[in-house]
Amino acid sequence: MGDTCFYCEKDERLHDLMKKIEDLTTSVFYLNMDQTHRGRSILALHHHKRELFELTPEELRMFTEDVAKAAKALQEAFQPQKINYAIYGDVVSHLHFHLVPKYENGEEWGEAFVNAPTHKKFMNEAEYGQLIKMIKDQL
């Protein structure tokens, strides 16, 4: 199982890291469990591709529209000063964007966010549910 992709398998490795917000056109929108940055989310392509250049122009257009739609919902829900976008994928290569709202005077303002901070901010189920509702209301 270690060699399989959790974005494809959607198993406990995924559920330990994120909670589904909603299916978008070409991707799944997830709330990140670590909420060091309020509203931090992930947008994962439905099917397994590694690089943006592997997408057809139509897939690329639709995926980009999903990214924009998700980011707009985060903006309206949480009013950050900026949203950071990152594709890493060294270890988990399945194409996914990290969508990270950034707040002036907040963590790592003016710098790249830390992907896996030592001290993570976890919440209880009701709090995650509240954040997910706030995002869904803006989709």
**CB-based burial label for 38 (10 Å; 0-12, 13-18, 19+):** buried
**CB-based burial label for 131 (10 Å; 0-12, 13-18, 19+):** buried
* C-beta of 2 vs 110, nearer to Zn ion: 2
Question: Should residue 46 be labelled a site residue for Zn ion when binding is judged by CB under 5 A?
Answer: no
* C-beta of 53 vs 104, nearer to Zn ion: 53
Q: Interface with Zn ion by CB under 5 A: which range of 33-41, 47-55, 59-67, 77-85?
A: 47-55
Helix (H) or strand (E) holding 86: strand 82-86
* C-beta of 7 vs 29, nearer to Zn ion: 7
Of 13, 19, 49, 94, which one interacts with Zn ion (CB under 5 A)? 94
Which amino acid is located at 119 in the chain? H
State the CB neighbour count (10 A cutoff) for residue 9: 11
Question: Should residue 6 be labelled a site residue for Zn ion when binding is judged by CB under 5 A?
Answer: no
Q: Interface with Zn ion by CB under 5 A: which range of 23-31, 59-67, 86-94, 120-128?
A: 86-94
Question: Should residue 8 be labelled a site residue for Zn ion when binding is judged by CB under 5 A?
Answer: yes
